[in-house]
Amino acid sequence: MAVILNINGKDVTVSSPPETPLLWALRDELGLTGTKYGCGIAQCGACTVHLNGQPQRSCQTPVGALAGVKIQTIEGLGGAHPLQTAWVARDVPQCGYCQSGQIMSAAALLARTPRPTDADIDQAMSGNICRCGAYQRIRAAIKEAAGLGA
The CATH number given to 3-76 is 3.10.20.30
DSSP code string of the chain = --EEEEETTEEEEE-S-TTSBHHHIIIIIT--TTS--SSSSSSS-TTEEEETTEEEEGGG-BGGG-TT-EEE-GGGG-S--HHHHHHHHTT--SS-TTHHHHHHHHHHHHHH-SS--HHHHHHHHTT---TT--HHHHHHHHHHHTT---
Percent of the chain at pLDDT above 70? 99
Q: Which CATH code of 1.10.150.120, 1.10.357.10, 3.40.50.150, 3.40.140.10 fits the domain covering 78-145?
A: 1.10.150.120
Average pLDDT over residues 115-124: 97
Predicted TM-score (pTM) of the model is 0.95
